[in-house]
Amino acid sequence: MLFHHVTKPIEHITNQSGLGGANDDDVAQGLTHVVENTQPSQGGSDVMLGIHAPAHSHLPFLHKFVPQLENLANKYHVGNYVIDRKTGQKFFESMPIYARLGMHLLFCGKEQVKLLEGNKHIEDLLREQSIREGKIYDSPESVKNIPSFINTYQLSLDELLKSDIRDYKTFNEFFFRKLKPGARPVEHADDPNSFCSAADCRLVVYPTVDLARKFWIKGDEFSIPALLNLDPSDPMCLNFDGGSLAIFRLAPADYHRFHSPADATVHGKPTDIPGQYYTVNPQAVNEAKLDVLSRNKRSVLYLDHTLSGKTIAFVAIGALLVGSIVWTAEENAAVKRGDELGYFAYGGSTIVAIFPRDVIAFDEDLVRHSAPINSDGTGAVETLVKVGSSLGRWNKA
């Protein structure tokens, strides 16, 4: 999580913005080199010399491939605003360099790029680099990156179940670290009508799916059937007609285990859906040309809400450089708000929770932040929350 004082315009990514004129093949080469630089033998164990660097960083080895990055760094800040729910303060959060390169290839580039090993489709390149990053961070050598990662994101070790970093055998083990019991208390724990945040994340909520499509998920192809990979006539899809939506976006620095937002029973086994490895940065989700959420690799777990008896869809979505989605909740298990459901291996990632009509009334402040403030429908802001933070209450309508 990198916060910056904004002194320059914020880039709105188009063909003519900060990387305008960049050669797509060179951008692809740059992405592969940034990934390789996460190896301690390449990047010297400094995570800021690889994928964790903000998009406006000055990285000479990368600028050799993409000199337009110098223009990007000089002219723009790259990222988005977030509101800290605890303090009410709005701050700017920089986009990581790997996400910016991936967005250029996805939205501004051509269908194929030329690399040393031959031509590749963009989707194949992003998938291969995501798998490669997972292998790097599963290697024993990757533990050398942990101290730099902690310092870069100013992580507190006091809340970790294992606070001695020598207890982690790979970087990924640290990435999906566990917290001490009680580190994320559930708000309104004694009120069974309440719902809570499923993750440490940046959150937007919409009382209807139509509002989510209007103000946040701009992809022309987005729909609940597409996200769940079901036929529109499937009874499970019909369950969500007129339903509500919460989107929990996890940044690389976040605690990456996810938890139940409701008192519920796990409904069968998760359903894995193959897909792409596109970035889920807000500018990508807000892009009208492509729906990244229903195109990405994802896994769906259904939860039967205890009080209403209705089924909630909990969709864990992978992203660029995300290694895997792992479920830890057992089939047909009863779960309480805040109970662990699973975790993501390395990378930023997203959860979408879909609630049937009249199951949840989201908290007013979350709804307000998620609504546009500009006449053109822009200006919605994510809210920074922790696992267990209040999400809303059972509507009982």
User: Known catalytic residues?
Assistant: 200, 259, 349
Q: Which two tokens stand for residue 57?
A: 């960083």
- d(CA 149, CA 138) in angstroms, rounded, equals 15
How many other CB atoms sit within 10 Å of the CB of residue 214?
Answer: 14
- d(CA 214, CA 211) in angstroms, rounded, equals 5
H or E element that contains 72: helix 68-75
Angle between helices 24-36 and 122-137 (to 10 degrees): 10
CB 94 within 8 A of CB 27: no
58, 60, 112 from 11: Cα distances, Å: 17, 21, 25
CB 228 within 8 A of CB 236: yes
Name residue 389's amino acid.
S
How many other CB atoms sit within 10 Å of the CB of residue 158?
Answer: 8
Burial of 267 (0-12, 13-18, 19+ CB in 10 A): middle
7 in the Ramachandran plot: left (φ > 0), alpha (ψ -120 to 50) or beta? alpha
Q: What is the DSSP string of 94-153?
A: EPBHHHHHHHIIIIIS-SEEEETTEEEEHHHHHHHHHHHHHHHHTSGGGGGGHHHHHHHH
54, 55, 282, 293 from 216: Cα distances, Å: 23, 22, 8, 12
CB 277 within 8 A of CB 350: no
CB 53 within 8 A of CB 98: no
Taking the alpha carbons of 348, 354, 359, 362 in that order, is the dihedral positive or negative?
Answer: positive
- E strand segments, 2-69: 3-4
